[in-house]
């Protein structure tokens, strides 16, 4: 009887510790939220000036001040996550600076923490990081306002008939993306494209019948549309591979400190190195070339992540 009582008490204590552990994430979450809210006022004020005075010189100054706000917000998040919370980053291949005007960032996607990590890694080194987002996001308080203020490319969700050819779908994607990127190209920026289209999980990997272990099958259509639209305006592609010491990381685990060690490998690739295509020639880049390149890149990335995870295991033993 005494043994059963002790066992029950042990389970209750374990459950209590479990709940207390996940409460730890509330303070970092609130700190990040307060950081965003703090900058919303000055940011929207600058946007108002930009609208009232649509002069190129004024816009350029406004964009510079907005970039400073972005860098400060990302810097404060970095202080919280990587100094106060002591989340450790092992980084390879990040350049001291990326002096160009436009970069394409591609990466595997496991958790929303990926975004905070990339903002931290590129903060002050590369132009403001922007994302392809759906038009519905603009109605989301705070996040939607920030995306709108920084001219994030908003895409409208479109459904394509099954009888449309791949070439027709590709032309529609490029036309839609070209329109969305019109504002994007007003100021220097790094555009982030999660080519898997969603966050990785074991269940998704099984459902998609992916031929990879740690990543999902990449989608070449969006990548092709971006490269075709920006063309020779893109200075380079920055390919990032991210691995967490947690076997199945989630954003709340990250905020609670469960994902303590993170490895990042980065490569800077020119468009000619990636696709062997002359964007000054006026000819279009074909889907097969982009599809072959991104699948080979993802195959290499899958192996990289496997090696990173093995290193995590060796460090634990």
Domain boundaries, the chain: 84-316
Per DSSP, the three-state class of 89 is: strand
Q: What is the pTM of this model?
A: 0.84
Query: Cα separation of 189 and 152, whole Å?
Result: 10
DSSP state of 82: I
Query: Cα separation of 227 and 205, whole Å?
Result: 27
pLDDT tens digits for range 153-183: 776 655 333 344 555 555 655 666 666 676 7
Residue-wise over 265-279: b if at least 16 C-beta within 10 A, else e? bbbebebeebbebeb
* Residue 22 token pair: 């996940």
- Is residue 68's pLDDT more than 90? yes
Q: Which CATH number fits domain 84-316: 2.20.28, 3.30.70, 3.40.1130, 2.60.90?
A: 3.40.1130
Query: Mean pLDDT across the stretch 207-214?
Result: 78
**Which pLDDT does position 9 carry in this prediction?**
46
Greatest CA span in the chain, whole angstroms? Answer: 83
Residue with the larger pLDDT of the pair 176 and 9: 176
**Which pLDDT does position 201 carry in this prediction?**
80
Q: Which of these, 126, 271, 268, lies nearest to 189 by C-alpha position? A: 126
Q: In the chain, pLDDT over 90 holds for what percent of residues?
A: 44
Query: Cα separation of 36 and 181, whole Å?
Result: 24
């Amino acid at each position: 009887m005494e043994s059963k009582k002790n066992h029950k008490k042990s389970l209750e204590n374990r459950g209590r510790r479990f709940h207390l552990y996940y409460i730890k994430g509330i303070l970092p979450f609130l700190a990040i939220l307060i950081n965003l809210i703090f900058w919303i006022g000055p940011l929207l004020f600058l946007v108002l000036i930009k609208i009232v005075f649509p002069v190129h010189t004024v816009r350029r100054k406004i964009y510079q001040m907005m970039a400073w706000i972005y860098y400060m917000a990302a810097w404060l998040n970095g202080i919280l996550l990587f100094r106060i919370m002591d989340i450790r980053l092992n980084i390879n291949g990040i350049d001291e600076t990326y002096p160009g005007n436009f970069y394409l960032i591609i990466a595997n996607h496991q958790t929303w923490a990926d975004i905070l990590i990339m903002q931290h890694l590129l903060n002050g080194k590369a132009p403001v990081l922007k994302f392809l987002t759906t038009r519905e996001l603009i109605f989301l308080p705070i996040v939607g306002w920030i995306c709108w203020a920084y001219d994030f490319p908003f895409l409208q969700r479109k459904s394509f008939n099954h009888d449309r050819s791949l070439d027709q779908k590709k032309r529609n994607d490029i036309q839609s993306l070209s329109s969305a990127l019109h504002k994007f190209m007003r100021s220097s920026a790094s555009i982030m494209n999660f080519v898997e289209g969603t966050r990785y999980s074991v269940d998704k990997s099984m459902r998609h019948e992916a031929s990879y272990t740690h990543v999902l099958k990449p989608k070449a259509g969006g990548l092709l549309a971006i490269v075709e639209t920006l063309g020779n305006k893109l200075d380079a592609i920055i390919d990032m591979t991210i691995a967490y010491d947690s076997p199945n990381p989630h954003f709340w685990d990250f905020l609670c400190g469960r994902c303590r060690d993170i490895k990042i490998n980065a490569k800077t690739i020119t468009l000619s190195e990636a696709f062997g295509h002359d964007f000054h020639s006026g000819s279009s880049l074909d889907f097969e070339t982009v599809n072959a390149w991104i699948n080979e890149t993802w195959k290499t990335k899958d192996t990289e992540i496997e090696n990173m995870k093995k290193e995590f295991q060796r460090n634990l033993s």
